[in-house]
């Protein structure tokens, strides 16, 4: 599992391929206000990143993946985990 | 192209090359008045001829380089070896400008700023010299998005320019259905070298959360990069229609046209002939060979009437044949040039790469006297440059890792060429980290390049071959793990276009060797002539592994096609008529005739109606309207005057 729901936090773990976008959208549409934890995220497929950009959930960092951290995280509403 | 310009471009490149070689020799061998004089003369001559064209920034930069070299020649105080870098940088820029001038008839908009920076750097290494005054920023005229993007990223742009880099703005609008096509647009941006800014916006406003669909790509990506337009296009080569590039014009000084400063001093030692004229000569020789072949038939007919006269004519015909053959070889020989024409450009580029990456490199060239067809020698430049840069970038380890492995601090990269009969072997070897087949297999599995079983079944050689798989080496994890870089598939494609093959071997920890086996002459090909109905076609002999006569009963129908067993393997059978989209014809007789042809790694049987002779032909590539036709390698004139179409079987099978 690369998209895991724990309490009200969706954790992305490791590399998330295109198929994870659908799972992520479903979890975000199901209960509004869920946060997404990117601390363990690896390479994220564009479709997954697009979900974050479009639905703008609160994102928890620091982001595990350097590319996402450098270029994508600044575009997202960020919080800190822990 | 106007003759003066054509001559200028040829001489200009030679002068740049001459000066670069002199300077690199100075660096290698220490002070040499003869080398310094030679470099000075080359720069001086180039500066003079530049004045004849609208190339002011180049003229000014060269003028500054000339001043520096003159000062070094005069041994004026305060000049160490610090002049080498700025003068070499100036020569590198001149080479790129000459290319741009040839393609577009003008220098790129960035040339003004780049020239100014080169000039300033050159002036800085002259003691007491004033750095040239610069004017204010000139109004820019790229498309609006690029201006806006650069405006929001002023710091990044300024920092890049301060480092002497050109900034290119790119806009990438992935197709809405690109996710279905398996594209990962951000992966391309991740693969982009030298990304300095990235902006991502929705193409149309985002829908409310409840209506969002994850299957449609709705992104407008804009980025700034200091990579060259060519490097960027290479990354986006599969989606060129979704990419727009704008080179950001730099701030500019007022243009003053440098006055022409005396004609070139270069004296002509050799006769320069346009390659097209040689090809024309080759055509005439080809026709002469055909005329000569007809003479043999005539001699036989005359011999039947008058034996003595026939013999005399046959003797004459034999002499003609020998002379025509000799002439043919001589003309082909005119197209042969030494590899040094391409190889000599690498030392300066490797020096640049090593400096950029901060890795000390000892770069050696061996065997550059080997000769090959001009097209092969020129076509090797891009793929070899790629392989050489990879060797420095990904092969040679960073200093601490080399120290830990008890390797000398200076990395070794060797470019070697040797003759192998009609072919030549070009290798690039480094003494770097090497590739780990296990890591490649793991990466292939993660990236979905096959099933677990198929990937585990790969032996080490096959695992190494994975780096040539399209899209494989661009995957970020692979570069991180194994260190072999971007675009080896492009290298393989370029080498195969030249009629060659590329392979790679590696000893983990000890280094990697890339081997390129290439034909030295591209024009003469041995083809197997085959029959299909009344038609005849040629197939290059190197594509054919064997020809078989097979009882029709041994051909098995399988799902939607046919197969047969050869040497214990089941091979697919395709009919040439089907591949050429000709109407199918029933098999004649109990025996089928087939060729076993290698398509990629997979042998395939191709059924034809009959085999004819094997012959050496002058293969002419398809030109004009026919050049886009898939499955055709070219045409050749047969001895009986008929035109033979030579097929590209792997492409037909596709």
**Domain locations along chain B:** 3-124, 144-247, 277-334, 347-519, 524-653
- Percentage of chain B beyond pLDDT 70 is 85
In this structure, is the dihedral angle defined by the CA atoms of residues B471, B475, B480 and B481, taken in order, positive or negative?
negative
Please give the pLDDT value at position B492: 85
The whole-angstrom separation of Cα B606 and Cα B597 is: 7
Contact B200 A18 (CB under 8 A): no
Give CA separation, B577 vs A43, B28, B353, B513, B539, in Å.
Answer: 47, 61, 51, 42, 14
Contact B217 A72 (CB under 8 A): no
For B606, the token pair is: 């191709």
Please give the pLDDT value at position B74: 75
Q: According to DSSP H, which parts of B191-306 are helical?
A: 229-235, 275-305
Q: Tell me, yes or no, if B198 comes closer than 8 A to chain A by beta carbon.
A: yes
Q: Which of A44, A45, A53 sits opposite B200 (nearest CB)?
A: A53
The whole-angstrom separation of Cα B112 and Cα B248 is: 12
Contact A75 B477 (CB under 8 A): no
**Among all residues of chain B, which has the CA nearest to that of A52?**
B214
Mapping DSSP to helix (H, G, I), strand (E, B) and coil, where does residue B328 land? helix
Residues of A in contact with B174 (CB under 8 A): 46
pLDDT at residue B476 tops 70 = no
Q: Tell me, yes or no, if A81 comes closer than 8 A to chain B by beta carbon.
A: no
Please give the pLDDT value at position B80: 61
Mapping DSSP to helix (H, G, I), strand (E, B) and coil, where does residue B563 land? strand
Q: How many CB atoms lie within 10 A of CB B590?
A: 8
Distance from CA of A72 to the nearest CA of B (A): 8
- Topology annotation, domain B524-653: OB fold (Dihydrolipoamide Acetyltransferase, E2P) (2.40.50)
Mapping DSSP to helix (H, G, I), strand (E, B) and coil, where does residue B171 land? strand
- On the 0-12 / 13-18 / 19+ scale of CB atoms within 10 A, B209 is middle
Contact B214 A22 (CB under 8 A): yes
Contact A71 B214 (CB under 8 A): no
Q: How many CB atoms lie within 10 A of CB B202?
A: 13
Contact A46 B446 (CB under 8 A): no
For B25, the token pair is: 């020799």
pLDDT at residue B491 tops 90 = no
Residues of A in contact with B213 (CB under 8 A): 25
Q: Tell me, yes or no, if B568 comes closer than 8 A to chain A by beta carbon.
A: no
Q: Tell me, yes or no, if B381 comes closer than 8 A to chain A by beta carbon.
A: no
Core vs surface per residue B366-380: b (16+ CB within 10 A) or e: ebbebbbbbbbbebb
Please give the pLDDT value at position B250: 58
CATH architecture of B3-124: Up-down Bundle (1.20)
Least confidently predicted of B130-134, B449-453, B550-554: B130-134
Across A33-42, B407-416, B590-599, the highest mean pLDDT is recorded for B407-416
Beta bridge partners of B563: B556, B572
Please give the pLDDT value at position B522: 61
Distance from CA of B366 to the nearest CA of A (A): 41
Q: What is the secondary structure of B183-196 as a DSSP string?
A: --HHHHHHT-TTEE
- On the 0-12 / 13-18 / 19+ scale of CB atoms within 10 A, B45 is buried
Distance from CA of A57 to the nearest CA of B (A): 10
For B303, the token pair is: 């011999």
The whole-angstrom separation of Cα B8 and Cα B378 is: 19
Q: Which of A18, A54, A75 sits opposite B212 (nearest CB)?
A: A54
Q: Are residues A63 and A74 in contact, defined by beta-carbon separation less than 8 angstroms?
A: no
Nearest in space to B571 (alpha carbons), one of B540, B547, B604: B604
Q: Tell me, yes or no, if A46 comes closer than 8 A to chain B by beta carbon.
A: yes
- Percentage of chain B beyond pLDDT 90 is 20
Q: Tell me, yes or no, if B184 comes closer than 8 A to chain A by beta carbon.
A: yes
Contact A47 B218 (CB under 8 A): no
Least confidently predicted of B6-10, B305-309, B480-484, B586-590: B480-484
Least confidently predicted of B19-23, B151-155, B389-393: B151-155
Q: Tell me, yes or no, if B615 comes closer than 8 A to chain A by beta carbon.
A: no
Q: Which of A32, A67, A71 sits opposite B209 (nearest CB)?
A: A32
Residues of A in contact with B212 (CB under 8 A): 25, 29, 51, 54-55
The whole-angstrom separation of Cα B129 and Cα A57 is: 59
Higher-pLDDT residue of B172 and B586 is B172
Least confidently predicted of B21-30, B37-46, B179-188, B472-481: B472-481
Contact B179 A47 (CB under 8 A): yes
For B355, the token pair is: 């400096």
Average pLDDT over residues B260-280: 57
Q: Are residues B409 and B403 in contact, defined by beta-carbon separation less than 8 angstroms?
A: yes
For B535, the token pair is: 């038609």
How confident is residue B410, by pLDDT bands cut at 50, 70 and 90?
Answer: very high
Q: Which of B186, B212, B446 sits opposite A49 (nearest CB)?
A: B186
Torsion of CA B516, B518, B520, B524, to 10 degrees: 180
Nearest in space to A42 (alpha carbons), one of A19, A72, A21, A63: A63
Contact B214 A47 (CB under 8 A): yes
Using the 8-state DSSP alphabet, how is residue B581 labeled? T
Using the 8-state DSSP alphabet, how is residue B105 labeled? S
Q: Tell me, yes or no, if A43 comes closer than 8 A to chain B by beta carbon.
A: yes
Using the 8-state DSSP alphabet, how is residue B238 labeled? T
The vertex-B140 CA angle with B153 and B160, nearest 5°, equals 40
Domain B347-519 top-level CATH class: alpha beta
Ramachandran assignment for B499, one of left (phi > 0), alpha (psi -120 to 50 degrees), beta (any other): left
Instruction: Please determine, looking at this structure, whether the domain spanning B144-247 carries the CATH number 3.30.70.
Output: yes
Residues of B in contact with A32 (CB under 8 A): 209
For B520, the token pair is: 């030295």
How confident is residue B540, by pLDDT bands cut at 50, 70 and 90?
Answer: confident
pLDDT at residue B130 tops 60 = no
Residues of B in contact with A47 (CB under 8 A): 179, 184, 214-215, 217
Compute the residue count for chain A. 82
Distance from CA of A20 to the nearest CA of B (A): 10
Q: Which of residues 217-276 of B touch A (CB under 8 A)?
A: 217-219
Q: Are residues B198 and A21 in contact, defined by beta-carbon separation less than 8 angstroms?
A: no
pLDDT at residue B452 tops 60 = yes
Please give the pLDDT value at position B135: 36
Q: Which of A43, A51, A71 sits opposite B198 (nearest CB)?
A: A71
Contact A46 B179 (CB under 8 A): yes
Q: Tell me, yes or no, if A77 comes closer than 8 A to chain B by beta carbon.
A: no
Q: Which residue has the tokens 């040689």?
A: B278
pLDDT at residue B519 tops 80 = yes
Contact A55 B195 (CB under 8 A): no
Residues of B in contact with A45 (CB under 8 A): 184, 186-187
Higher-pLDDT residue of B81 and B652 is B652
Mapping DSSP to helix (H, G, I), strand (E, B) and coil, where does residue B457 land? coil
Each domain of chain A, given as residue ranges in start order, spans: 3-80
pLDDT at residue A80 tops 70 = no
Please give the pLDDT value at position B252: 30
The whole-angstrom separation of Cα A50 and Cα B289 is: 65
pLDDT at residue B259 tops 60 = no
Please give the pLDDT value at position B77: 38
Q: Are residues B481 and B339 in contact, defined by beta-carbon separation less than 8 angstroms?
A: no
The whole-angstrom separation of Cα A48 and Cα B219 is: 12
Q: Are residues B594 and B604 in contact, defined by beta-carbon separation less than 8 angstroms?
A: no
Q: Each residue of B290-320: pLDDT tens digit?
A: 667 667 777 878 888 999 998 998 888 888 8
Please give the pLDDT value at position B76: 53
pLDDT at residue B286 tops 80 = no
Q: Tell me, yes or no, if A36 comes closer than 8 A to chain B by beta carbon.
A: no
Q: Each residue of B41-75: pLDDT tens digit?
A: 899 888 888 877 888 889 999 999 988 888 887 76
Contact A25 B219 (CB under 8 A): no
Give CA separation, A65 vs A40, A71, A79, B182, in Å.
Answer: 8, 10, 16, 21
Q: According to DSSP H, which parts of chain A are helical?
A: 20-30, 46-55, 66-67
**Among all residues of chain B, which has the CA nearest to that of A25?**
B214
Residues of A in contact with B176 (CB under 8 A): none
In this structure, is the dihedral angle defined by the CA atoms of residues B467, B469, B471 and B477, taken in order, positive or negative?
negative
Q: How many CB atoms lie within 10 A of CB B305?
A: 8
Average pLDDT over residues B316-341: 84
B167 HSE (CA, 13 A, CB side):
29
The whole-angstrom separation of Cα B427 and Cα A34 is: 56
Distance from CA of B54 to the nearest CA of A (A): 41
Please give the pLDDT value at position B627: 59
The whole-angstrom separation of Cα B444 and Cα B437 is: 10
The whole-angstrom separation of Cα B408 and Cα B406 is: 7
Query: Which helix H or strand E contains B198, and what residues bound it?
Result: strand B195-202
**Among all residues of chain A, which has the CA nearest to that of B216?**
A47
Mapping DSSP to helix (H, G, I), strand (E, B) and coil, where does residue B117 land? helix
Q: Tell me, yes or no, if A31 comes closer than 8 A to chain B by beta carbon.
A: no
Least confidently predicted of A32-41, B238-247, B570-579, B622-631: B622-631
Average pLDDT over residues B328-349: 86
Q: Tell me, yes or no, if B476 comes closer than 8 A to chain A by beta carbon.
A: yes
Higher-pLDDT residue of B447 and B412 is B412
């Amino acid at each position: 599992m690369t998209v895991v729901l724990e309490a009200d936090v969706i954790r992305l773990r490791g590399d998330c391929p295109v198929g994870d976008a659908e799972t992520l959208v479903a979890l975000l549409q199901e209960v509004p206000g869920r946060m997404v934890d990117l601390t363990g995220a690896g390479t994220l497929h564009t479709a997954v990143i697009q979900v974050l950009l479009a639905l703008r959930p609160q994102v928890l960092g620091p982001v595990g993946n350097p590319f996402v951290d450098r270029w994508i995280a600044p575009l997202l509403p960020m919080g800190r985990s822990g | 192209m106007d003759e003066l310009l054509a001559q200028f471009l040829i001489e200009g490149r030679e002068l740049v090359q001459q000066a670069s070689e002199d300077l690199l020799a100075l660096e290698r061998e220490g002070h040499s008045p003869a080398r310094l004089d030679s470099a000075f003369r080359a720069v001086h001559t180039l500066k003079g001829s530049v004045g004849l064209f609208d190339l002011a920034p180049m003229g000014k930069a060269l003028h500054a380089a000339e001043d520096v070299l003159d000062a070094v020649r005069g041994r004026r105080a305060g000049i160490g070896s610090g002049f080498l870098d700025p003068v070499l940088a100036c020569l590198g820029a001149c080479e790129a400008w000459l290319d741009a001038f040839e393609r577009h008839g003008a220098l790129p908009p960035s040339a003004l700023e780049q020239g100014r920076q080169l000039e300033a750097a050159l002036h800085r290494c002259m003691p007491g010299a004033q750095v040239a005054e610069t004017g204010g920023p000139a109004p820019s005229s790229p498309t609006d998005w690029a201006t806006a993007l650069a405006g929001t990223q002023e710091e990044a742009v300024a920092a890049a320019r301060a480092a002497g880099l050109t900034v290119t703005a790119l806009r990438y609008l992935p197709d809405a259905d690109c996710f279905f096509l398996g594209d990962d647009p951000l992966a391309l941006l991740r693969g982009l070298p030298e990304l300095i800014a990235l902006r991502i916006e929705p193409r149309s406003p985002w829908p409310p959360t409840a209506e969002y669909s994850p299957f449609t790509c709705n992104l407008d990506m804009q980025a700034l990069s200091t990579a060259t337009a060519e490097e960027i296009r290479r990354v986006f080569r599969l989606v060129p229609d979704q990419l727009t590039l704008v080179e950001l014009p730099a701030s500019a000084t007022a243009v003053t046209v440098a006055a022409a400063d005396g004609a070139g001093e270069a004296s002509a030692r050799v006769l320069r002939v346009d390659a097209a004229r040689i090809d024309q000569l080759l055509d005439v020789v080809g026709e002469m060979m055909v005329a000569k072949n007809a003479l043999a038939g005539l001699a036989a007919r005359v011999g039947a009437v008058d034996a003595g006269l026939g013999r005399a004519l046959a003797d004459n015909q034999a002499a003609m044949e020998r002379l025509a053959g000799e002439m043919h070889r001589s003309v082909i020989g005119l197209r042969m040039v030494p590899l040094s024409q391409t190889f000599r450009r690498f030392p300066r580029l490797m020096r640049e790469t090593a400096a950029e990456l901060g890795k000390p490199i000892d770069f050696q060239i061996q065997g550059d006297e080997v000769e090959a067809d001009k097209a092969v020698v020129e076509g090797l430049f891009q793929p070899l440059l790629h392989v050489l840069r990879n060797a420095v970038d990904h092969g040679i380890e960073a200093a601490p890792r080399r120290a830990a492995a008890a390797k000398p601090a200076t990395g070794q990269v060797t470019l070697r060429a040797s003759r192998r009969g009609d072919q030549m072997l070009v290798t690039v070897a480094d003494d770097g980290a090497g590739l780990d087949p296990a890591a490649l297999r793991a990466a292939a599995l993660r990236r979905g390049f096959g099933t677990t079983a198929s990937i585990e079944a790969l032996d080490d050689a096959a695992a190494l071959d994975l780096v040539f798989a399209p899209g494989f080496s661009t995957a970020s994890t692979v570069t991180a793990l194994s260190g072999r870089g971007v675009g080896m598939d492009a290298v393989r494609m370029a080498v195969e276009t030249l009629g060659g093959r590329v392979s790679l071997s590696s000893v983990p920890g000890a280094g990697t060797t890339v081997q390129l086996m290439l034909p030295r002459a591209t024009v003469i090909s041995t083809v197997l002539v085959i029959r299909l109905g009344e038609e005849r076609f040629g197939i290059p002999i190197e594509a054919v592994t064997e020809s078989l006569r097979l009882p029709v009963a041994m051909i098995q129908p399988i799902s939607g096609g046919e197969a047969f067993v050869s040497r214990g393997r089941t091979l697919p059978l395709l009919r040439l008529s089907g591949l050429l989209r000709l109407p199918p014809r029933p098999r004649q007789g109990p025996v089928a005739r087939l060729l076993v042809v290698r398509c990629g790694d997979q042998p395939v049987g191709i059924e034809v109606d009959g085999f004819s002779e094997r012959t050496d032909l002058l293969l002419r590539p398809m030109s004009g309207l026919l050049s886009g036709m898939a499955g055709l390698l070219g045409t050749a004139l047969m001895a009986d005057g008929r035109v033979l179409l030579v097929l590209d079987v792997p492409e037909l099978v596709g």
